[in-house]
Structure 1
Amino acid sequence: MDQQDGLPPHESGEQGTSQEVAAEEAAERTREIHLTMDLCLRVGEMLLSSGAGAADVTATMRSVADHFGLRQAEIDVTFTALSMSHQRSPDDVPVLMMRHVMQRDIDYEDLTAVDHLVRDVLTDRADLYLARSRMATIVSLGHAFPRWAVTIAWAVMAAAVGVFLGGGPVVSVVAAVAAVLIDRVQILMARRRLPFFYLQVAGGAIATILAAAVAATPIDVDESLVVTANIILLLAGIGLMGAVQDALTGFYLTASARLIEAMMATAGIIAGVALGISVADGAGIPLGPLVPGRLGDTDLPVVLAGAAVSAAAFSAACYAPRRAVLPIGLITAVAALVAQTVEVNGFGRAAAAGVAAFFIGLVAYAVAGRVRVPPLVVAVPAIVPFLPGLQIYRGLTFLADGGYFVSQGIFALMTAMSVAIALASGVILGEYVAQPLKREARKLENRLAGPRLVGPFRALTRAERRALRRTSGE
C-alpha cells in the first residue's frame, strides 16, 4: 500500500493522470474562453468605430459569444469602450476583458468584411481559430481604394452639394477644390494626433478663406454657397442621427456622448468660419455678407441628381464596396423624390425626412442582400443628403450671436433634432417592417429583438446551418 494516500500504486497513478487530464481540459477551456471574448471585443470594436449603433454591436457580440458557448456573458458598450465578462459557475472567478475604441473613422469595407466573418461563424464555416486569423487579416490589410481616390470622392461630393444648393458650376468647382484642400490638411493634422475639434476648425477656415480669395477675383461667385457646400462635408448630422438611434434603442449613455461629439464638431466649424473671416479681413480681401447655410433656388431634377451623386460619393469616400455605390445613388434619388413630394403637399421637413428615411430603411434591407453588404452601408449614405447638419450650424451660430438671435437658434436646434429623430425612427421602422418579410428573418430571437443595421439578424438553428451548407455545395 502507498503510505501517502492509502491507495495501491497503480490506482494512485491513474488518479494522478485523470487529475492532470482534467487540469489540462480546464486550462484549454479557459484559453478558449479568453480567445472567444477577445474575438467578440475585436468584432465589436470594428463595428462601433465604423458607425454601427450600440444595439447592433451588442447583439452581434452576443451572437458570436453564444455560438462559441459563452451563453452567460455580460456585454457593455459605451461610446469609447467595450467590456465583456463571463463566469462559468458561481464558484469560479469571473473573467473581465475590455477594449477601448481609439479610432472612429467610418470604414464600410472593414465593416462589410467583419459582417461576412460573423455570418460565416454563425453558419459553422469558420471556427474560433480561423475567425481570429481572418479578423487579424481584416485589421492589417489596406483598402481597395487608394487614399487619393477618397480625396476625389470628397471633391465630387462637394461639387454635387454645390449643384443641388443652387450654386451653379462655378460654386461646384470652387467647392471641389476646397474639399481637396480640407481633406489633405486634415490628414496632415490627424497624423500629428491633433484632436478632432481642431480639424474641424481648419476645415471651416479653409472653406471661408478660399471663398474670399475667389470673391476677390473677377469671377462671379456666391461666397455663402461655397462655404455651405464645404461645411456640409464637415457637419455632424450623422453623429446626431446616431445619437437618436442609440437613444431609441435604450443606450442613453452612448447617445449622450454622440450628441456631445456632434455639438463639438459643429462648434469647431463655427470657430473655423470665424477665423477665416478674420484672416480675410486682415488680408484686405473683400468679403461680402457671408451667410453659411444659405440655400439657392434649384430645380427638382438637379436636386435629385445632386442628392444621388453626393450619396454615392460619400459611400465611396467611406470605402463602401464598389458594387454598392450605384444602388446607393439610385435609392437616394428615389428617396429625394419622395421627400420632395411629401414636402410640396404641405407637410413639414421633418415629416418629409421621416417618410424618405422609412423608404430607405425598407429598401436598404433587400438591396443590401443583393449586393452582399450590411444594410447600414446602404442606409447611412442614402440618408446623408437629408441630415440636419445645416440646422445644427445655424442654431449654434445664432446662439453664439446672442440677443435677438437666441430664439432663432433654439428654433433651429429644435428643427434639427426633430429631423434627426424622424430620420432615425424612419430608418429603424423601415428595417423593422422589411426584416420579417425576408425568409431568413421570420423568427427573430428575443435577444436580437428590434431592427438591425449590421450583424446577424438571428442565430441560425443547427438544422438551418446544415441546410445552408448543403445549398452552398459544401
Structure 2
Amino acid sequence: MSDGRSTPEVRELNLILDLGLRIGEVLLSSGGGAADVTASMQVVAQHLGVQRPEVDVTFTQLSMSYSYDPEEMPITLVRRVKQRDIDYEDLTRVNQLVIDIMADRVDLAEARSQMASIVSTPHSLPRWAVTVANGAMCGAVAVFLGGGPIVTAIAFVAAMVIDRVLLLLSRLRLPGFYVQVAGGTIATLFAVAAAASGLNVDPSLVVTANIIMLLAGIGFMGALQDALTGFYVTAAARMMEALLATAGIIAGVSGGLAFAGLFGLEIGYLEPGRAGWEEMPVLALGAAACAAAFAVAVYAPWRVVVPIAVIALVAACLDRLIANFGLGRPWGAGAAALGIGLVAYAVAGRVKVPPLVIVVPAIVPLLPGLSIYRGLSLLTQGTEASSAAGMLAMMTAASVAIALAAGVILGEWVAQPLKREARRLETRLAGPRLVGPFRARGRRKT
C-alpha cells in the first residue's frame, strides 16, 4: 500500500467490513442521514486498516467493497435494512462505539462484541412508557393548536390507542401503508365519537391532534437533507415513503368517515391541518412539551430531554416572531432551524450524544406534516379549486421542509467546521455531520 501500512488478512478484512455494515445499519435505521452513515463506515474501516473502501448507501441496502489485491476478486459485503424505527438509545451507543474505535479504546474484537450487545440488549425504557410519551406528544400538539382541555384529553387517549394498535400490526409484519390506514381510521373514529357525544369540540382539530404521530414530516425533511448532501437516490426513496405514508392516513381518515356514515353519524366537512398556532405562551409550552415527549418516545437518553425542550421552546418562539413580521413561514422555520443547528453541536458535546439526537426532537414542532396532509387531501378531491389549494399547500410544505433542512445543515456547518483530514476523506460528501466521528484518524500503530 502507498502509505506503508500492512493490509489486514482476508479474514480480518471480512470482519472489519462486516462491523462497518452493522454500524451503518443501526445509524441508517435510526434516522441517520446517508452522508453521515457513509462517512462513519468509511472512517471506521480506515482506522482499522482498510484504506479507501467503496461504500454505497441506499434507503434499503448498505454495501462495502474492498480490493485487497488487483489480481483477486474484491471483497464485497451487503446488508439489507429491514426496519427503520427511530431509536436514539442504540444510535447514541453506536456513536460512542465509533468514537471509542477512533480513540483506540477498543480493538476489532471488542468492537464487534459491543456491537452485538447493543443490538441485542433491551431498551432501558419499558414499551408502555413509549405509549404514554406518544400520548403526551399528541396532547401537547393539541395544546399549541388551541384545542382546549377536552381536545387535549382526547388526543392523549387516542394517541395511546393508536400506538398500541400500530405496534400490534407492525409485529404482524403488515406493510407500512396499511398500518397508516389503520392509524388514520382510529383517529377519525375518536373524532366522530367526540362529535356524536355532544362535546363542544372541533372534529377537524381532534383529528389534527390525533394523527400528528402518523405524519411523515421527519421523513420528508430527511429526504431533503439527503438531497442537499448529494444522495439523490436515497432522498427519492425517503420522499416516496413519506408521500405513501401520508396517503395511508388520507385513506384511513376517509374510511373512518365512511364507517361512521353507515351508522348515521355525520360530522360534515373534515379538514385536518386547518387549525393554526395560538398565543405565544401556549405555543412555546406546547412545542417544548411536544419535543420532550417525542425525545422520550424515541428512547433518547434522559439527560437530553430538558435541553431539547428548552431548545424547542426558543425555536418555536423565534419561528412565530419572524412569521409575525410578515416574512412568511419558510423564513421563520429556516431561522429557527439555523438556531437549532447552531446550539445542537455545543449541547451535544456536553451531554455526550450525537447532534442528531437533539436536532430532530427539537425540530418536530416545526415540521410541515400537516401541510403535506392538507395538500394531498385537497388534491384528491378532484376540483379545480381544491387542486390549486392542494398544490399551494404542498409547495408551502416543501418550502418549510427545505428551510428546516437547510437551516439545520447551515447551523451545524457554522458550529462544526470540518478538519482538513476529514475533508479529504469525505470528498464525495457535502455538509456537516449530525452523527458519527467529526474527524478521521489513520490506523493505529502496532
| TM-score, L = length of structure 1 | 0.90
CA distance in structure 1 between the aligned counterparts of 2:439 and 2:349, rounded to whole angstroms: 15
The higher relative CO (CA closer than 8 Å, separation ≥ 6) is in: 2
Deviates most, 399-408 or 422-431: 399-408
In the TM superposition, what is the alpha-carbon distance from 1:93 to its structure 2 partner? 1.6
Shift of 1:128: 0.2
Alignment of 1:164-313 (within 5 A): 164-296=144-276, 298-313=278-293
- Which residue number in structure 1 is paired with residue 425 of structure 2? 447
Q: 1: CA distance between counterparts of 2:362 and 2:292?
A: 8
Matches within 5 A, 1:6-85: 29-85=9-65
**Which digits, 9 at most, give the CA deviation of each residue in 1:128-173, with x for residues without a partner?**
0000000000000010110000000000001000010011111000
Q: What CA RMSD, in Å, does the superposition of the two structures yield over aligned residues? A: 1.7
Kindly provide the amino acid, as one letter, of the partner of residue 395 in structure 2.
M
Q: CA deviation at 1:403?
A: 1.7
Q: Could you list the runs of 5+ residues in structure 2 that have no partner in the other structure?
A: 1-5
Q: Which stretches in structure 1 are left out of the alignment for 5+ residues?
A: 1-24, 466-474
2:399 aligned with 1:418: yes
Alignment of 1:361 onto 2:344: no
Work out which of the residue numbers 79, 85, 98 in structure 1 matches 2:78: 98
1:316 has 2:300 as partner: no
Aligned: 1:375 with 2:364: no
Q: 1:164 to 1:38 in 2, by over 3 A?
A: same
> Per the alignment, do residues 442 and 322 of structure 1 end up closer, same or farther by CA in structure 2, a change over 3 Å counting?
farther
Identical aligned residues as a percent:
60
Q: Deviations over 1:333-390 (max 9, x none)?
A: 0111111111111111001000000000000000111111000000011111111111
Per-residue Cα deviation, 1:78-125 (whole angstroms, up to 9, x for no partner): 000001100112122201100000000000000000000000000000
Tell me the equivalent position of 1:345: 325
Contact 1:354 1:423 in 2 (8 A): yes
> Does the Cα contact within 8 Å between 2:46 and 2:442 map onto a contact in 1?
no
Question: Against the structure 1 CA distance between its residues 301 and 428, is the aligned structure 2 distance closer, same or farther, given a 3 Å change threshold?
Answer: same
Alpha-carbon distance in structure 2 between the residues aligned to 1:234 and 1:298: 22
Task: Give the structure 2 partner of residue 469 of structure 1.
Answer: none
CA distance in 2 between partners of 1:452 and 1:157 (Å) = 28
- Does residue 132 of structure 1 match 2:99? no
Displacement of 1:447: 2.4
Residue aligning to 1:435 = 416
Q: TM-score, normalised by structure 2?
A: 0.95
Tell me the secondary structure at the aligned position of residue 104 of structure 1. Answer: coil
Deviation per residue, 1:274-309 (Å, 9 max, x gap): 000011111222424321112156211000000010
Q: Please give the secondary structure, in 1, of the residue aligned with 2:55.
A: strand
Cα deviation code 1:258-280 (max 9, x no counterpart): 00000000000000000000111
* Number of residue pairs the alignment of both structures matches: 436
Contact 1:164 1:298 in 2 (8 A): yes
Contact 1:435–1:441 (Cα < 8 Å) also in 2? no
